[in-house]
Structure 1
């Protein structure tokens, strides 16, 4: 059973297993999942409610009927105005509550004891009685939309004037970002329209509005219904075939909407076929929307140049799509345009490229709020993902991880499958920064798996970039992506640590000359200088390295970029320790550790601890274990899984010295393996 169907069943029955089983035995699963269809009442409950109603007074029954039509919970005075010949409302409520028909809520509100009671009360009304009560409700209710819905429920057949009123209200709802409410009113209008052509036009609009409102799963249900309707009007021999194929409808506007649905659902080949056909027979009213959807399609399928071309076509159309964001495609496709709105995802991408994470974050918060008000979840989720990237860049990792995780869950619940790889990838970096590498790698693996299943080329590339970021020694793919932090600095550091200095120099030159290095601001400049200084230190030119670290530090100290400041302090402290200035080294390392601890950068806190141990600052564990500071530092790295060669590079000692220390450690602790060493350290509270 689909999750939505299960949720509807639970809401309708309040989880009562007897009633739930009765409905499952008699109601097809598609009906359970279709939120537009009311769920029936089990016969066992109908008999129970009928006995309650029979035992109630006439006034109580009339009040319950009015509440059923109004949809409860509702104000008592409103239900009394809808009911006829009620007498004293409070007396009628008391009698209805005593009979088990209604319950009183705070603030003179009334409701049924459970959802099944409301459905049973409504089903028990005759067609004429329901119509009269709906008309009475329409006269007394203040909400124009609700009044129209009551009038539609009371209609006994086609009513073109009422249908046009509903269409007018739907248009106003769209202006306030209420796409789902607009779709509901358009659906009612279609049911009141006698013209088959007009009815089909309205139902296509219903599908589009549900889809733009973000509910891809509901839109998929509607599309299946429309395909079946279209097939029913076709020749007998083709009806079955057409009902099975949602794409059989040849009308350009329907093909555009179905193509949009296919894209959001992650069916990219189908989307390409439908949108290309819709463009071939385009009409000015939706040409810009078709072009923009093709731009997004080309972007996610890895065709950046084509994506840029289609985005520009969308911009050139005389009638702009109200919900289209072609400038965002241009920015993400690497061809930003000066015409982008001042507050937009495109403008935020540019700010991130300029190393202005705080400004980008502030702008993206406004964009997210605007997209929420406009009722556009797909654009809001993308802006939310980029906001998480900006928060990661600003070292607010907990906020970033929480925000990205919520966006991922919402996209999955809505059926926005085309967004899932990107949102999975965005979750990874802030988790890794906090030391939760396993969870970060799981998100990347999930992104890659989803992307491969969808043939989502962009998603696979983002997963590759994230893998290179998390496993610093991996070769990253060329170019960058707005949703993944640049993995090249980590790669350069890994090359230097491995002694591959010529490769590191080449990678550093490429990092400084081209591509997406985000080096325009102080943080980016500091990062490039820090990497150059690391290379100088590895080549045993300590004076040049120290001078480089000092320049890098001057660019980011005084809270310009606390994370970058701490990174430079850590590297400078390592250099000072290596050149014998242990006291000065310890001062830098302590300062770095304090910043890392404040930011929650657990892996970097551990690195500072290792370096401080190597400086001779004796941690409490040395007393308990009987190890020297150098031995404890070595033991901690052994327990973390590093090889002897990697430990030598980390501590700037020879491999033979590492082997000597390990031998001494084993003797002192009375153990003979790395596994036993890890267990011993864990028992003493000294984590790797």
Structure 2
């Protein structure tokens, strides 16, 4: 078989893994020891060489082993196999960790993990659907049952799949169910194991079921390494050993193998497609469905194909599938139809979402019936968790969206993960948000569910940009490529991600353009139900910075009309920021500053650090431009503290930079650790001023004064005004 026809590097899962590693390498100039692990036969060496080929800015050296390693003098990629056998690992690691050495990237392979590696990349065996795609590349034809048989025989090891395909002529694979021919050189593995297998089917047999008279022989085979015991089952150490023994097993014993081998999902049928969908394996479901007449709406929905899904569901009675379709296309009427006519406990759950969308306020959960199934409870957790996130309770959202039970649906779990990542982001839990994003993307890749990728990538891009990982942020944004046939649940976060990330890094032109595109996307679909897809504030800020103040004012006026009765404090706080800046630019400076102060009061009353830090930063910018340097320093200091606590190093550095640009230098504090504004408030309070009088004197709100006084009391270790005066006299 010609080698150019085969490349596991084109398989989507491995391609995405390489892209992710490349983005991570580009985000830092530190040296690395990247170890690619996995069982023999997963093509580790091919993976490292493909990766090295794409690191075009480095010199690439391929070594037979690390024994020939010498410290490089220029940025270098070193590819080496079997690094676990190297005797000079300590020398190599010393170079990797030496800050004075040019960047060196070691791409090594091993069958086991090494504690010395800075990054470990496990390559798992191929899945059945990946074997299917690989065989299509090799011979141009494959049926589901052939893919299952090849996967079972090879254990998913790509090298063994090639050998099995090469063992037969090309036209052999044009049959619907071609026989799997075992390569001759595999048969040398059968040996003495056949003597035991001749009387009992060992493959996967539980230890407790083995006859007593085989015990001594089995002990001997395990000691010789010809058999292994894993999870209380007897197994062969390598797939080719198992396959060769199977092919030579006597027919009478071979018939008993069906007791240990489940082949119920191998042959294509409607029931098999349903089973794979229920298990969340849409890759396999699509492969089987491809060999059946007709089409499946579930597969089109989770593939993100809007028009095909709509055609297939046209005229169908309300069901959970039509309800999820309505959420994906953002159709409140369809959600209400299922809630009213669905006739199930799931319908009552969707009634909560329908109420929120129709009335713009948080629905009362009340005494809803208990879901009858695990999937029903999972749906309840998803919907109520999403609503908690919308209505300023991200802590409750985190709890509900992270809840998992035995028997949960992987597809609904993806919906949970998409909004769990948002909850972690809003809470300022950036490492947790990043982890959920990566897990969600991996699950989506594994299950064949790209529908919710844009929601995950939106969060991932924001977290990466704020955390100083610009290349990773660009990598995430590059993956948010939605076709014209996409659902609104894909189009909205894709456009929002591009606009918000651009606005965060003050790329005004790109942010405004992305915002214009977002406005056009939602022109024919009402997405302004309060709190669900809040994008108007960032769009308005981008418009203001590009000189389109009147357009920004129109955006905010329309948003305010829709959201004034929602009771969502975080939404009000965010929208006050661009509205205040518009007032200031139109000459109403005092009103604008008061509105910004109200925004700070509102956002600090809820637990949403990601929004709080951004509002404090924007307030600082306004105050600096107005010449109120002391107050600006106070806002930048507070914003920096929140950004730093979240790990948002990029914005924390921006806060420090803004102080330097305005001549404020570092964060000036008194010996007691008071900020300039805390000093002013303390002085007035000690003189006898009430909170309201301090607020009027310093142009602050009463709540802001209360916030600062609480911090002052804490720093002095006192609990009131009188004790504060005593503490100051003692200094």
TM-score (normalised: structure 2) = 0.57
Report what 1:625 is aligned to: none
Report what 1:113 is aligned to: 237
Judging changes above 3 Å, is the alpha-carbon distance between structure 1 residues 463 and 328 closer, same or farther for their aligned structure 2 residues? farther
Judging changes above 3 Å, is the alpha-carbon distance between structure 1 residues 20 and 360 closer, same or farther for their aligned structure 2 residues? closer
Cα-to-partner distance string for 1:625-684 (whole Å, 9 max, x where unaligned): xxxxxxxxxxxxxxxxxxxxxxxxxxxxxxxxxxxxxxxxxxxxxxxxxxxxxxxxxxxx
When the two chains are superposed, the root-mean-square deviation of aligned CA atoms in Å is 4.5
Report what 1:639 is aligned to: none
Q: Give secondary structure in 1 for the equivalent of 2:202.
A: helix
For 2:474 and 2:529, locate their aligned partners in 1 and report how far apart those are by CA, in whole Å.
18
Report what 1:600 is aligned to: 647
Residue 4 in structure 1 maps to residue 131 in structure 2: no
Report what 2:286 is aligned to: 220
Cα-to-partner distance string for 1:490-511 (whole Å, 9 max, x where unaligned): 2222333345443333332222
> 1:457 deviation in Å?
5.0
- Aligned counterpart for 2:259 among listed residues 137, 150, 169: 150
Are 1:292 and 1:324, in contact at CA under 8 Å, matched by a contact in 2?
A: no
- Aligned counterpart for 1:510 among listed residues 544, 558, 565: 558
> 1:67 deviation in Å?
1.8
> 1:587 deviation in Å?
3.5
Report what 1:124 is aligned to: 248
> 1:296 deviation in Å?
3.5
Residue 352 in structure 1 maps to residue 399 in structure 2: no
Report what 2:320 is aligned to: 292
> 1:212 deviation in Å?
1.5
Report what 2:66 is aligned to: none
Judging changes above 3 Å, is the alpha-carbon distance between structure 1 residues 595 and 119 closer, same or farther for their aligned structure 2 residues? same
Judging changes above 3 Å, is the alpha-carbon distance between structure 1 residues 97 and 261 closer, same or farther for their aligned structure 2 residues? same
> 1:571 deviation in Å?
4.0
- Aligned counterpart for 2:298 among listed residues 253, 260, 266: 260
> 1:403 deviation in Å?
0.9
For 2:623 and 2:542, locate their aligned partners in 1 and report how far apart those are by CA, in whole Å.
20
Report what 2:30 is aligned to: none
Judging changes above 3 Å, is the alpha-carbon distance between structure 1 residues 260 and 28 closer, same or farther for their aligned structure 2 residues? farther
For 1:214 and 1:482, locate their aligned partners in 2 and report how far apart those are by CA, in whole Å.
32
Cα-to-partner distance string for 1:8-50 (whole Å, 9 max, x where unaligned): 8798558989855431214699999xxx99965322212x134
Judging changes above 3 Å, is the alpha-carbon distance between structure 1 residues 487 and 62 closer, same or farther for their aligned structure 2 residues? same
> 1:117 deviation in Å?
2.0
Residue 43 in structure 1 maps to residue 174 in structure 2: no
For 1:495 and 1:41, locate their aligned partners in 2 and report how far apart those are by CA, in whole Å.
67
> 1:350 deviation in Å?
2.5
Are 1:272 and 1:294, in contact at CA under 8 Å, matched by a contact in 2?
A: no
Judging changes above 3 Å, is the alpha-carbon distance between structure 1 residues 293 and 14 closer, same or farther for their aligned structure 2 residues? closer
Cα-to-partner distance string for 1:566-615 (whole Å, 9 max, x where unaligned): 34443444444445443443343223222222222334323322321133
Report what 1:161 is aligned to: none
Judging changes above 3 Å, is the alpha-carbon distance between structure 1 residues 100 and 185 closer, same or farther for their aligned structure 2 residues? closer
Are 1:41 and 1:119, in contact at CA under 8 Å, matched by a contact in 2?
A: yes
Q: Give secondary structure in 2 for the equivalent of 1:611.
A: helix
For 1:444 and 1:334, locate their aligned partners in 2 and report how far apart those are by CA, in whole Å.
32
Judging changes above 3 Å, is the alpha-carbon distance between structure 1 residues 410 and 483 closer, same or farther for their aligned structure 2 residues? farther
Are 1:492 and 1:531, in contact at CA under 8 Å, matched by a contact in 2?
A: yes
Report what 1:23 is aligned to: 164
Report what 1:469 is aligned to: 500
Q: Give secondary structure in 2 for the equivalent of 1:374.
A: coil
Residue 410 in structure 1 maps to residue 443 in structure 2: yes
Residue 67 in structure 1 maps to residue 202 in structure 2: yes
Report what 2:705 is aligned to: none
For 2:312 and 2:487, locate their aligned partners in 1 and report how far apart those are by CA, in whole Å.
18
For structure 2, the 5+ residue unaligned runs are 1-7, 12-125, 132-147, 372-376, 503-510, 668-731
Report what 1:211 is aligned to: 277
Cα-to-partner distance string for 1:456-498 (whole Å, 9 max, x where unaligned): 4542344233333333423342434899852211222233334
Residue 308 in structure 1 maps to residue 335 in structure 2: yes
Residue 365 in structure 1 maps to residue 389 in structure 2: no
For 1:541 and 1:374, locate their aligned partners in 2 and report how far apart those are by CA, in whole Å.
59
Judging changes above 3 Å, is the alpha-carbon distance between structure 1 residues 275 and 592 closer, same or farther for their aligned structure 2 residues? closer
Residue 492 in structure 1 maps to residue 540 in structure 2: yes
For 1:326 and 1:598, locate their aligned partners in 2 and report how far apart those are by CA, in whole Å.
37
Judging changes above 3 Å, is the alpha-carbon distance between structure 1 residues 40 and 314 closer, same or farther for their aligned structure 2 residues? farther
For 1:361 and 1:98, locate their aligned partners in 2 and report how far apart those are by CA, in whole Å.
50
Aligned length: 494
For 1:446 and 1:349, locate their aligned partners in 2 and report how far apart those are by CA, in whole Å.
24
> 1:376 deviation in Å?
1.0
- Aligned counterpart for 1:374 among listed residues 407, 418, 423: 407
For 2:387 and 2:247, locate their aligned partners in 1 and report how far apart those are by CA, in whole Å.
58
For 2:171 and 2:446, locate their aligned partners in 1 and report how far apart those are by CA, in whole Å.
18
For 1:581 and 1:326, locate their aligned partners in 2 and report how far apart those are by CA, in whole Å.
50
Please state which structure has a larger fraction of its residues in helix.
Answer: 1
Q: Which moved more, 1:473-482 or 1:215-224?
A: 473-482
Judging changes above 3 Å, is the alpha-carbon distance between structure 1 residues 483 and 185 closer, same or farther for their aligned structure 2 residues? farther
> 1:186 deviation in Å?
6.1
Q: How does 1:267-346 map to 2 (within 5 A)?
A: 267-276=305-314, 279=316, 291-297=319-325, 299-300=327-328, 302=329, 304=331, 307-308=334-335, 311-312=338-339, 315-316=342-343, 320=344, 330=354, 343-346=380-383
Judging changes above 3 Å, is the alpha-carbon distance between structure 1 residues 328 and 433 closer, same or farther for their aligned structure 2 residues? farther
Are 2:127 and 2:156, in contact at CA under 8 Å, matched by a contact in 1?
A: no
Judging changes above 3 Å, is the alpha-carbon distance between structure 1 residues 612 and 518 closer, same or farther for their aligned structure 2 residues? farther
For 1:219 and 1:323, locate their aligned partners in 2 and report how far apart those are by CA, in whole Å.
27
Q: How does 1:522-561 map to 2 (within 5 A)?
A: 522-557=569-604, 560-561=607-608
For 1:518 and 1:448, locate their aligned partners in 2 and report how far apart those are by CA, in whole Å.
35
For 2:349 and 2:600, locate their aligned partners in 1 and report how far apart those are by CA, in whole Å.
40
Are 1:332 and 1:346, in contact at CA under 8 Å, matched by a contact in 2?
A: no
Are 1:31 and 1:37, in contact at CA under 8 Å, matched by a contact in 2?
A: yes
For 1:99 and 1:592, locate their aligned partners in 2 and report how far apart those are by CA, in whole Å.
65
Residue 102 in structure 1 maps to residue 242 in structure 2: no
Cα-to-partner distance string for 1:301-338 (whole Å, 9 max, x where unaligned): x472663365347614xxx4989985588589768987
For structure 1, the 5+ residue unaligned runs are 135-148, 154-183, 192-199, 228-245, 248-254, 280-286, 621-688
Residue 387 in structure 1 maps to residue 387 in structure 2: no
Judging changes above 3 Å, is the alpha-carbon distance between structure 1 residues 536 and 275 closer, same or farther for their aligned structure 2 residues? closer
Are 2:417 and 2:436, in contact at CA under 8 Å, matched by a contact in 1?
A: yes
Residue 79 in structure 1 maps to residue 210 in structure 2: yes
Judging changes above 3 Å, is the alpha-carbon distance between structure 1 residues 314 and 609 closer, same or farther for their aligned structure 2 residues? same
TM-score (normalised: structure 1) = 0.60
> 1:455 deviation in Å?
4.3
Judging changes above 3 Å, is the alpha-carbon distance between structure 1 residues 127 and 556 closer, same or farther for their aligned structure 2 residues? same
